[in-house]
Amino acid sequence: MLLSTRGLTKRFDGLLAVSDVDLDLTAGDVHALIGPNGAGKTTLVGMICGRIAPTAGSVTFDGRDITTLPAHKRIGLGMAYTFQITSVFAGLSVRENVALAARGQPVQGDQVDRAVCAALDKVGLSDRAQEVAGNLSYGHQRLLEIAMGLAQAPRLLILDEPTQGLSDGEIARFTALIEGLRGHTTVLLIEHNMRVVWEVADRVTVLNFGEVLAEGTPEDIHENRAVQAAYLGTG
């Protein structure tokens, strides 16, 4: 396992946002986290990457207990994440944004350039490298965020609703990109687009009211009646 949580819990005043979650991410897998709005997905991921302090439970990364490790140190261990709220610097160029994200990695000079070009190429933004990031469409800004994550050469890439606001063509490019990461980069993907989940996920965890409702392969989840009732509808 690259990452495990045990009994991970977050209480906001009276509200139990995440309750006793055991999650295991196998190295190299694409693991999708799904569930209705308010199920606790973003809160769970916030505890995994160190932005939210858990009320109880533990997080282990590569065999090390990181429950109380600050977020920037987790980045240093190889975690990268993109969030629903766009984090690009609007006044900088596309290239500069990715170069900033790559900084601090064990690459220098020409290697930074190469890492930036490779990341932009993977998300299909190479021809926009010189554009001011703030002028990009919302969908392209989401792709830029993913390039910023990739430029950090992460061991675990956490993506929070990466396909939200993307066109069909951009979604197809995104799924191809994720396919290309399988086996060497572990991906934790919060995703509402079920077609994307069925296409790219090796494992799926379903959260409902802060609890794990089901975990398994996409086929297991698709056939799970409790999941159908809670989330997928009767279809």
Whose Cβ is closer to ligand ATP: residue 52's or residue 101's?
52
Scan for tokens 């990181």, then name that residue: 66
Residues in a beta bridge with 34: 206
Whose Cβ is closer to ligand ATP: residue 85's or residue 184's?
85
Whose Cβ is closer to ligand ATP: residue 40's or residue 122's?
40
Whose Cβ is closer to ligand ATP: residue 43's or residue 224's?
43
Phi, psi (rounded to 5 degrees) for 186: -80, 135
Question: Residue 186 Cβ, how far from ligand ATP at the closest point, in Å?
Answer: 20
Which residues inside 26-55 make contact with ligand ATP, applying CB under 6 A?
Answer: 35, 37-43
Question: Residue 20 Cβ, how far from ligand ATP at the closest point, in Å?
Answer: 15
**66 touches ligand ATP by CB under 6 A:** no
Whose Cβ is closer to ligand ATP: residue 44's or residue 94's?
44
Residue among 7, 12, 26, 172 that touches ligand ATP (CB under 6 A): 12
Question: Residue 113 Cβ, how far from ligand ATP at the closest point, in Å?
Answer: 36
Phi, psi (rounded to 5 degrees) for 215: -145, 140
Q: Which residues bind ligand ATP (CB under 6 A)?
A: 12, 15, 17, 35, 37-43
